[in-house]
Amino acid sequence: MAQGIGISSAKEAPPRVNEWRRFFRVFLGRGLVVFGMVVILAFLVAAIFAPQIAPYDPLKRNLSEALQQPNAQHLLGTDAIGRDTLSRLIYGAQISLIVGVLVVCIAGGIGVILGAIAGYFGGIIGAVIMRSMDTLMTIPLMILALAIAALLGGGLKNVVIALGFGLIPGYARLMSAQVLVAKETDYVMAGHAMGASNWRIIFRHIVPNCFSPILVVITMMMGTTILAEAGLSFIGIGITPPTPAWGSMVSDGRNYLLTNPMLSIAPGVAIMLLVFSFNMVGDGLRDALDPRLRGII
């Protein structure tokens, strides 16, 4: 009997080291996840060291070299005013990643706080917050971003505000559902018994415990954000020219589809690669962090 109890409690509390080992085994066990990590790291390096890596100045016009096909000097060719496509692509990674990270910080920060408050306190505060989220969700992201950009104008800062605002509900809904469950757990009751304040319980205990699902959503939302920013830049209300953004590069290449298809194709492939990678890493994180899958994989 005593032995039996000993075994079961050992199972319930495995040493922490194994937890990490299992995380990496599951996370890095799938080829596509590793591929995604490599691609994200590559784009990150390209973005950070763009001035060193890019062969040319992405803004430098050179009309004598305009509309070149891919060649040894310009690996992906040049655009209508002679700017090097590869260099613009490398600098474009900066914009996509900066927008992605900032939007995640804003939407994630506000969404997690609102969701936690709604889930924890419920009642009228909760209802007001959640109905506001419902309202925000009925307006398609693209349309909302369009309207906000119409009010504030284009540019990096306003794109971040528009998308950061529009993506709040995703985080808030997830968080409030998580908190509703966490509220009933023993550690929250223990917190109350020790006289911790509501805010302390929410932000020191509940929020850190919901870290895994939030991390998965953040990774997935990076993809959504990068796609949306590209869409906004494509219709000309996102990042303002001449700053190289992938979406506006696809748009700029439209008039040269027949003669220089690479101008539009290359930035599109970059968008796809990066978004695909974030989605794959998100899938991998979900598998590795989901407690229900513990013991199965």
Partner 1 sequence: MLSYIIRRLVQSAIVFFMITLFVFLVMRLLPGDPIYMIMSRAASETATEMQLDKLRHQYGLDRPMMVQYFSWLNGVFHGDLGVSILTNTDIRQSLMKRLPITLHLGVLALIISFVLGIPAGVICAVRRGTWIDTVVTSLANIGITIPVFWLALVLMYFFALKLHWLPVFGYTSPFTDFWMNLKQIILPVFCLAVTSIAVIARQARSSMLEVMHQDYIRTAWSKGLKERGVVIKHALKNGLIPVVVIIGLGLSGIIGGSVLIETVFAIPGMGRMAVEAMGNSDYPVIQGVILVFAVMVLVTNLLVDLSYGWLDPRVQYK
Q: Which stretches of the chain bind partner 1, using CB under 8 A?
A: 131-132, 134-144, 146-152, 223, 227, 230-231, 234-237, 247, 250-251, 253-254, 257-258, 261, 264-265, 267-268, 271-272, 275-276, 279-280
Determine the distance from the C-alpha atom of residue 249 to the mean position of all C-alpha atoms in its chain, rounded to a whole number: 21
Nearer to partner 1, 10 or 152 (CB): 152
Phi and psi at residue 84, in whole multiples of 5°?
-75, 120
Please, what is the minimum distance in Å from the beta carbon of residue 217 to partner 1? 15
3-state helix, strand, coil in the chain (%, to 5): 75, 0, 25
Under DSSP, the state recorded for 203 is I
Please, what is the minimum distance in Å from the beta carbon of residue 289 to partner 1? 17
- Assess contact for 183 and 119: CB atoms under 8 A: yes
Please, what is the minimum distance in Å from the beta carbon of residue 19 to partner 1? 26
Please, what is the minimum distance in Å from the beta carbon of residue 278 to partner 1? 9
Beta-carbon contacts of residue 200 (< 8 Å; ≥ 6 apart): 191
Nearer to partner 1, 19 or 134 (CB): 134
- Assess contact for 212 and 286: CB atoms under 8 A: no
Nearer to partner 1, 201 or 270 (CB): 270
Please, what is the minimum distance in Å from the beta carbon of residue 42 to partner 1? 17
Q: Residue 84: beta bridge partners?
A: 78
Nearer to partner 1, 65 or 283 (CB): 283
Please, what is the minimum distance in Å from the beta carbon of residue 62 to partner 1? 25
